[in-house]
Amino acid sequence: MKDQYQPLVLIVEDEPAIHKFLKISLQTQGCRLISSMTGGDGLLQAASHTPDVVILDLGLPDMDGIDFVRRFREWSQTPIVIISARGREQDKVAALDAGADDYLTKPFSVGELQARLRALLRRRAAIGAGDSPVFTIGELTVDLALRQVKLGEKQIRLTPNEYRILSFLIQHAGRVVTHQQLLKQIWGPDSEHEKHYLRVYINQLRQKIEPSPEQPRFILTEPGVGYRLVEADANHE
């Protein structure tokens, strides 16, 4: 993140040691920072300063972090990265379904946090500039305008549902998409518990677009939570 653009990061974290660690780590990467120790003040800070990304702890003294996410999403689409000691799958799913963009379980590495932030900031910049209709990761190219998928020079034929899954993952590239979000998007609200549908289609999709389906590089599994499509150009980090 060290370049002429200095993203403004809001840290909402009440544990002093983690708070200090985050501030030092992000300042060395050229970020501008605002911070808060409570959810209520964090919402005020976000409204006043319009950050580029929010780093949020779930265990706040005045409200649960998931409530923060829901309230924040009523008026802002700024990316939110959750950092939490809660490592249970249901906690991750609840936060992501509420509107968070990513989730890191404490303890986490600085490098991983910085990589997640870079991905979200690039995605935010692309949305602001108007997304390109052509999405490329490695040998995979998807032309969303032409609905054309290629692996290298080979054109790949997808079923309608396979294409809908891939295009939805592209819209959220670099962030975790939960099983429930995908099922609801592709098959409707009554299918949110039919995970076996999703596993079958993801496997079929990997067989068609992954150079090595047994070791997927593009569609990554977030165990118990969902899937993440690698962000465009992420392999050039």
Mean pLDDT on 4-19: 90
pLDDT score recorded for residue 16? 93
The pLDDT mean for the chain works out to: 87
In a domain? residue 2: no
Tokens of 102: 């990513």
Q: What is the enclosing helix (H) or strand (E) of 177?
A: strand 176-178
Domain assignment of residue 3, yes or no? no
Q: Which of 128, 144, 159 is the last residue of a domain?
A: 128
Same domain, 43 and 153: no
Q: Which of 95, 128, 161 is the last residue of a domain?
A: 128
Residue 20 contacts residue 13 (beta carbons within 8 Å): no
Q: Look at residue 234 in the predicted model and tell me its pLDDT.
A: 43
- For residue 147, what pLDDT is reported? 82
Identify the CA nearest to 208 among candidates 146, 171, 161, 145.
Answer: 161
Give yes or no: residues 74 and 160 share one domain. Answer: no
Q: Is the pLDDT of residue 129 over 50?
A: no
pLDDT at 237: 37
Task: Tell me the pairing of strands 226-229 and 219-222.
Answer: antiparallel
Residues 156-197 pLDDT 10s: 999 989 998 998 898 888 888 999 889 888 888 777 778 888
Domain co-membership, 142 together with 68: no
Q: pLDDT class for 1, splitting at 50, 70, 90?
A: low
Examine the domain organization and report whether 83 and 136 are in the same domain. Answer: no
Helix 89-98 × helix 65-73 angle, to 10°: 20
Residue 2: its pLDDT value, please?
52
pLDDT greater than 60 at residue 206: yes
Dump pLDDT digits (tens) for 40-72: 999 999 988 889 999 999 999 999 999 999 888
